[in-house]
Amino acid sequence: MLSSKASSNCHGQDSLYFLGWQVYEKNPFHEVENPTGIIQMGLAENQLSFDLVESWLRKNPDVMGLKNKDGESVFRDLALFQDYHGMPAFKNELVEYMAKIRGNKVKFDPNNLVLAAGATSANETLIFCLADPGDAILLPTPSYAGFDRDLKWRTGVEIVPIHCSSSNGFRISMFALEEAYERAQKLNLKVKGVLITNPSNPLGTTMTKDELQSLITFAIDKDIHLISDEVFSGTVFDSPCFISIMEAAMDSNLKRNTDVLSRIHIVYSLSKDLGLPGFRVGMIYSNNQTVVSAATKMSSFGLVSSQTQYLLSYMLANKKFTSNYMKRNQKRLKKRKEMLVSGLKKSGINCLKSNAGLFCWVDMRHLLCSNTFEAETDLWKKILCEVGLNISPGSSFHCSQPGWFRVCFANMNQSTLQVALRRITNFVERSSFNYQQNMGSLSRKLISNWVRKLSSADREEQER
Ligand SMILES: Cc1ncc(COP(=O)(O)O)c(C=O)c1O
């Protein structure tokens, strides 16, 4: 009945990441109405600073009412057809906001910006522009669970993982990068680019200037593109500060290579930094005019509504608001992350050291009954169904080592996080109690087997 694309399995919908959401939705936690329900910790949403946005909206009722500065309605202008280039006023504000997040160390030109319905649409559009079906994109793993859908499903492009491991804090090594490139070649895949997320989802870490410059050099050497998904750039709450790929590319040595900027593209959205995933505001930024014009044509499949552009162009134009929002939001994220890290630590669970994002990358390897992905899935099921927490297993981020989980902390209030931490503590205590009991009965069994063996050996000896 359906096309092969529509019925193909590579959407990723069957991954445990999305299954966890489905289970959560059947029994969602509510402090009063369903206190034993499942707590959603698998959703990278930022709900910590809604009050700041809401306060701005209350102070600017005319904008919400679709009126201009003179109090006249702009409804008709906004309701009419808009072209796919987006509103100039909105794009001007967006590039200023992007520069501000990057400490004004880079300047962005609004003419190089293409609007899209979220970073989801921006990533897919960019892949459609850069690669043909059957070409490959190298992607460091663990990687965002939605990338199978966004980069691969409809484009027909192959994802070749760059395997990162806990031995160096999951950082991208040149060895792993070269190894992934060679693996793609052995599979007869033409590599068209590398896609990084910086800050990383699910790691919550940022890349250093050296690491970024090594990647740029790699892209130049192999004559491929470099895409940097920077949707979490405004969530960097601790040092080292955020360094965008554009800033790294400004290095004088790299700039001697004239086409360096034409192979670098940024994907960004307001879903994480401003906590507005429902508004569907995403963008591609590229210095490559061919890419900009192809992406602009394609953007008609995923435009941002003119009403949303209108509202946000006023909000972002208020520099006092954006500065205050960024500062306070980052402070709140840091506090929340520390609460999660210290709560888990009390239960003997460690997190990868992080400085950004809406989640922690949590090491639960010691809670696995064996070093396998089956054991990871068993632990995930237990935590979901018995403990009542929807956290996401590393397998859904294509992590190559079992036992790591992504735990989100910014999509709930503080008291819900405390309930979640209490549940984890009880679970770990119960598990270690059962473990000790099992070990106790196991050692009793071993000793009695041993005694039995010895005595039967004695008997055999005597019988001989
Ligand atoms: C790395 C990354 N890219 C893209 C997206 C999609 O963002 P959007 O809601 O703007 O489509 C996400 C969402 O979690 C993400 O983590």
Percentage of the residues of the chain whose pLDDT score is greater than 90 = 83
| Residue nearest atom 4 in ligand 1 by C-alpha distance | 119
Q: Is the CB of 201 under 6 A from ligand 1?
A: yes
Judge if 271 and 338 occupy the same domain.
no
pLDDT of residue 462: 42
Nearest atom within ligand 1 for CA of residue 280: 10
Amino acid at 27: N
Q: Give the residue from 273, 292, 266 showing the smallest Cα distance to 198.
A: 266
Judge if 218 and 341 occupy the same domain.
no
Judge if 130 and 274 occupy the same domain.
yes
For the chain, the domain total comes to: 2
Q: Tell me the sheet residues that pair with 360.
A: 407
From 120, 137, 284, give the residue whose CB has the most ligand 1 atoms within 8 Å, as the site to mutate: 120
Distance 310 CA to ligand 1 centre (A): 22
- CATH code at 12? 3.90.1150.10
Q: How confident is the model at residue 458 (pLDDT cuts 50, 70, 90)?
A: very low
Percentage of the residues of the chain whose pLDDT score is greater than 70 = 92
Mean pLDDT (the chain) is 92
pLDDT of residue 265: 98
Domain boundary among 322, 347, 377: 322
- CATH code at 251? 3.40.640.10
Q: Is the CB of 17 under 6 A from ligand 1?
A: no
Question: Given a cut of 60, is residue 448 above it in pLDDT?
Answer: no
Judge if 299 and 421 occupy the same domain.
no
Q: Give the residue from 155, 223, 165, 233 showing the smallest Cα distance to 194.
A: 223
Question: Given a cut of 80, is residue 446 above it in pLDDT?
Answer: no
Nearest atom within ligand 1 for CA of residue 122: 11
* C-alpha 372, offset from chain centre: 24
Judge if 37 and 180 occupy the same domain.
no
pLDDT of residue 171: 98
Question: Given a cut of 70, is residue 440 above it in pLDDT?
Answer: no
pLDDT of residue 410: 97
Evaluate whether residue 405 is within a structural domain.
yes
Judge if 212 and 299 occupy the same domain.
yes
Report d(CA 180, CA 183) in Å as an integer.
5
Judge if 292 and 372 occupy the same domain.
no
pLDDT of residue 7: 85
Question: Given a cut of 80, is residue 67 above it in pLDDT?
Answer: yes
Q: Tell me the sheet residues that pair with 138.
A: 160, 194
Question: Given a cut of 80, is residue 19 above it in pLDDT?
Answer: yes
pLDDT of residue 251: 79
Distance 122 CA to ligand 1 centre (A): 10
Report d(CA 216, CA 261) in Å as an integer.
10
Q: Is the CB of 231 under 6 A from ligand 1?
A: yes
Q: Rounded mean pLDDT of 9-24? A: 87
Q: Is the CB of 43 under 6 A from ligand 1?
A: no
Q: How confident is the model at residue 441 (pLDDT cuts 50, 70, 90)?
A: low
Evaluate whether residue 456 is within a structural domain.
no
Distance 446 CA to ligand 1 centre (A): 52
Q: Is the CB of 271 under 6 A from ligand 1?
A: yes
Q: How confident is the model at residue 438 (pLDDT cuts 50, 70, 90)?
A: low
- Burial class from Cβ neighbours inside 10 Å (0-12, 13-18, 19+) for residue 95 reads buried
Report d(CA 153, CA 72) in Å as an integer.
45
Of 12-21, 161-170, 361-370, least confident by mean pLDDT is 12-21
Who wins on pLDDT, 393 or 257?
A: 393
Distance 269 CA to ligand 1 centre (A): 8
pLDDT of residue 435: 55
Amino acid at 59: K
Count of C-beta atoms within a 10 Å radius of residue 284: 27
Joined together, the tokens standing for residue 76 give 């008709």
Distance 233 CA to ligand 1 centre (A): 12
pLDDT of residue 218: 96
Q: Is the CB of 120 under 6 A from ligand 1?
A: yes
Distance 268 CA to ligand 1 centre (A): 9
Joined together, the tokens standing for residue 289 give 């005019």
Q: What is the pTM of this model?
A: 0.92
Amino acid at 359: F
- Per-residue pLDDT reduced to its tens digit, 71-127: 999 999 899 877 888 999 999 999 999 999 999 999 999 999 999 999 999 999 999
Judge if 159 and 269 occupy the same domain.
yes
Q: Which domain holds residue 167?
A: 51-322
Domain boundary among 296, 322, 348: 322
Judge if 101 and 157 occupy the same domain.
yes
Q: How confident is the model at residue 464 (pLDDT cuts 50, 70, 90)?
A: very low
Nearest atom within ligand 1 for CA of residue 143: 1
Joined together, the tokens standing for residue 422 give 């209490």
Question: Given a cut of 90, is residue 8 above it in pLDDT?
Answer: no
Judge if 206 and 347 occupy the same domain.
no
Distance 225 CA to ligand 1 centre (A): 20
Distance 288 CA to ligand 1 centre (A): 23
Q: Rounded mean pLDDT of 147-175? A: 96
pLDDT of residue 27: 96
Judge if 71 and 26 occupy the same domain.
no
- Per-residue pLDDT reduced to its tens digit, 200-253: 999 999 999 999 999 999 999 999 999 999 999 999 999 999 999 999 998 767
Angle CA(121)–CA(127)–CA(130) in degrees, nearest 5?
140
Joined together, the tokens standing for residue 373 give 């992905």
Distance 366 CA to ligand 1 centre (A): 30
Evaluate whether residue 438 is within a structural domain.
no
pLDDT of residue 454: 44
Q: Is the CB of 200 under 6 A from ligand 1?
A: no
Evaluate whether residue 303 is within a structural domain.
yes
